[in-house]
Amino acid sequence: MPLPSPEARPRRRTARRPVTVAALAACSALGLLGAFTVANSQAAESGSAAPAAAAALPSYDHVVVVVYENKQYGEIIGSANAPYINQLAGGGASLTGMKALTHPSQPNYFNLFSGSTQGITGDGCYTPQSMTAANLGQELIAAGRTFATYNEDLPAEGSTACTSGQYAQKHNPWFAFKNVPLNTGKTWAQFPQNDFGALPDLSFVVPNQCNDMHSCSVGTGDTWTKNNIDAYAQWAKAHNSLLVLTWDEDNYLGSNQIATVFYGANVKTGTYAGAFNHHHLLRTFEDLFGTATHAGNAAGVEPITEVFSGSTTPTPTPTPTPTPTPGDLKLANPGPQTCKFNQSCTVQLTATGGKAPVRYAATGLPWGLSVDAGTGRISGKPWGSGTVQITATATDAAGTTVTAAFPLTVNWF
């Protein structure tokens, strides 16, 4: 018998209770005992035993995790192309030391969901329902929680298609595991837009390959997020719920540093510089709901606790930056820039304060671009494509040097 749809649950629960012998007997009478037995035996078979849920973690009614694609941290946080996501970051907790674990995309999704790549090294289509390893979905079900995923452009609930329009199986690892019911894989149309209380305990939202920023711009993904996720984000703050935004990997041109934002109830506003990765994020989700096991490498790391109210260490870094003393040399950060291949491109560097004259330099420029040391004007016709990280410097006559780093994306057309 298939597991009940998460949308069928009552809007609010007054308490969460462990499954008892009496409850199992009742489930047996309803023909559901087998589902509970399989789920718990799979947890014992594949997962690592977990201690009690970590202190300083809230007990949430709902957690929604949105996963995006292939962007460096600096392409999101502080970028004028992502005003809404930066609004969430400014009103929530932003991880500045979060990194993906590998390349390309698909192994990172498996790391986030199961604590391991499961031997996946590329983006090719996997065999559906072929794996039995412990994973977040199976652990939540075994713990008596509800779990679902909402996948934009998925052809139908439970579909194991490799691709369909802008949908790609490589961003949806849950269909690989036979211990996760296929009917937990929902279409985006099934996301309960008007009744967030009908959401499962934990759910993933995966936009299509345009709206997750894989094939379209950061601005496109930011606008999609505002239009489709903001209502839940604001509801979450008032209804003991949490929104998490994260990315699978960077664009291969950086250190694999990615943006990750927590927003909602019981979240401490600030930036947090701890060295985290997808395994820490998985462990956090497991401990938020007290799963009996930890999947794969999540068993060997600690949860991310400092972003939640009630934790005491470390202290969040204040989001505002100190105001420079008048007269100090300061180099304005031009923010993310975009040029076109073999077409004229100009970026102006501007320094204020300091002792004249000021000299400019820049590293990381693609071939075809150069900087005028006297004026700070970067110009030329770039050859190449993709996004590079530019580090600009300004040095005054007193020898004081300041820097600013920003991404430059060169598009083919």
Query: Is the pLDDT score of 382 beyond 50?
Result: yes
Window from 2-11, 191-200, 231-240 with minimum mean pLDDT: 2-11
CATH 2.60.40.10 intervals, the chain? 330-411
pLDDT of residue 147: 98
Helix, coil or strand: residue 33: helix
Residue 352 confidence class, pLDDT cut points 50, 70, 90: confident
Write down the pLDDT at residue 254: 87
Q: What percent of the chain has pLDDT over 90?
A: 64
Q: Which of 47-56, 128-137, 191-200 has the lowest mean pLDDT?
A: 47-56
Span 330-411: which CATH code?
2.60.40.10
- What pLDDT shows up at residue 292? 97
Which residue would you say has higher pLDDT here, 187 or 357? Answer: 187
Residue 272 pLDDT > 70: yes
Mean pLDDT of 321-350: 78
Judge whether 200 and 159 are in contact, CB under 8 Å. Answer: no
Mean pLDDT of the chain: 85
* Burial classification of residue 309, based on how many CB atoms lie within 10 Å of its CB (0-12 exposed, 13-18 middle, 19 or more buried): exposed
Tokens at 284, concatenated: 């956090």
In three-state secondary structure terms, 360 is strand
The answer, yes or no, to whether residue 314 has pLDDT greater than 60, is no
pLDDT at 356: 87
Q: Is 231 helix (H, G, I), strand (E, B) or coil?
A: helix
pLDDT tens digits, residue range 104-157? Answer: 999 999 999 999 999 999 999 999 999 999 999 999 999 999 999 999 999 999
| Res 208: pLDDT | 98
| Superfamily name with CATH number, domain 20-300 | Alkaline Phosphatase, subunit A (3.40.720.10)
Structure confidence at residue 318 (pLDDT) = 53
Query: Residues of the chain with pLDDT > 70: what percent?
Result: 82
When mean pLDDT is compared across 65-69, 190-194, 258-262, 322-326, the lowest value belongs to 322-326
Reply yes or no on whether the pLDDT at 48 is more than 70.
Answer: no
Tell me the C-alpha distance between 115 and 294, whole Å: 8
pLDDT score for 17: 38
Is pLDDT at 97 greater than 60 in this prediction? yes
pLDDT (0 to 100) of residue 388: 86
For the chain, residues classed under CATH 3.40.720.10 are 20-300
In contact, 80 and 334? CB cutoff 8 Å: no
Q: Which of 33-42, 93-102, 121-130, 279-288 comes out lowest in average pLDDT?
A: 33-42
Residue 337: C-alpha distances to residues 80, 212, 221 (Å): 10, 20, 17
| Average pLDDT of the segment spanning 214-236 | 98
Q: What's residue 12's pLDDT?
A: 39
